[in-house]
Each structure stands twice: as C-alpha cells, then as structure tokens.
Amino acid sequence: MKERIANLVSTILNPFLVSLTVVLLLSLASTATTLEAIKWVVVALAIGELPVFSVIFYLVRRGRLDAIFTTVRQQRTKIYIVGNLFCAIGLAVLICFRAPLVLVAAFAAVLVAGILFMFINLRWKISLHVAFVAGAATALVIVLGWIAGVGMALVPVIAWARIELKHHSPAEAATGALLAIFTVLAVFCPLLLG
C-alpha cells in the first residue's frame, strides 16, 4: 500500500506536471488578462517542456534510457543536456519576446539549477522530483506571497515518496530541495527586486 501511494505521489508531482502548474500560476500572476497568460503558458511549454519530454520519450522508445524518469545516474546526463539546451533556447525566446519577468526568472533559475545538477550528477544523483517541487514552491512564495507557502508542505511528501520507492536516499532528496530553494532565491531576488 505504501508503495502504491508513493508511486501515485511521484506521478502527480513529477517535474513535467510541476513545471506546467508553476508556469500557469506565474503567468496568471504576471499578466493583465487570462488570454495573455495562456499565450505565455503555450509559448513556455512549446519551447521548454514539450521538446524535452519528446526527446526523453524518443530515447526511452529506442532503449537509450530505461524510463522517462530514469533512476540510473549515468543515463540522467542525457536528460540534463537536453533539458539545459531547451531551457537556454526558451530563456532566449522569452527575453526576445519580452515575456513577463517572472517567467524569465523561472527559466533562468531552472537553467542555473540544471547546469549545477548536471555537474553534481557526474558523481552523485539528486532528486529532480524533490527539486522541482521545492523550487516551484519557493518561486510561488516570492511571486504570490506567503499564502503560496502551502506548496512547501509538498516537499516532504515527495521526498518521502522518492525515498520509499528507493529512487533516492534522504541525502539526495534533501540536497535536491535545498539546492533548488537556494537557486530560486539567488536568481529570482536579484531579477525581481533589483
């Protein structure tokens, strides 16, 4: 029963769904109309998320990755390279088309964290599930205020799930959360407050 719950939590709080949710909330918070927010959600997903998911899906179908959310550290390097490449392209597009600053900051934070995690991954595996939830919750608190802090309650839940499934150790989950939080603070605060 615990394993089924952990699988459900991991599925619901996966990096792709967390990204979709945070981009939607940040877009709604930073645009004048719902239509404008939807436009930026579509742009962000089309350049930042769908290409990455498509490449990962292709690599899984070809047998070059064992799963969409692979637990094999050596296979994760491919995901980091693809993710960082499309995140950099997405960041450039958002800047060129004058996207809301919070979306630019979100892409910049994901890129900085992605590069950092990629280098750490050469020796050690960090939980991306936990990192995405912690980073998203931090960004939402910065933009929406402390009411969004309720999202922080999901951090220990996803950490428990990843540890329960034996995909990560407690140290890997905690490090993912802490690095994501510090990266978001380091990127968002200067961009939004400076």
**Residue type, position 108, single letter:** A
| Of 13-27, 40-54, 68-82, 141-155, the least confident | 68-82
pLDDT at residue 192 greater than cutoff 80: no
pLDDT digits (tens, 9 = 90+) for 40-57: 999 999 998 999 989 999
Look up the domain containing 129 and give its range.
Answer: 2-189
Q: How many domains does the chain have?
A: 1
For residue 194, being part of any structural domain is answered with no
Supply the pLDDT for residue 65: 83
Give 15's contacts (C-beta < 8 A, 6+ positions apart).
69, 128, 129, 132
For residue 157, being part of any structural domain is answered with yes
Global pTM value: 0.93
DSSP 68: T
87 close to 107: Cβ distance less than 8 angstroms? yes
For residue 12, being part of any structural domain is answered with yes
For residue 134, being part of any structural domain is answered with yes
On the CB side of 107, CA atoms within 13 Å amount to 25
Q: At what angle do helices 154-164 and 170-188 cross, to 10 degrees?
A: 140
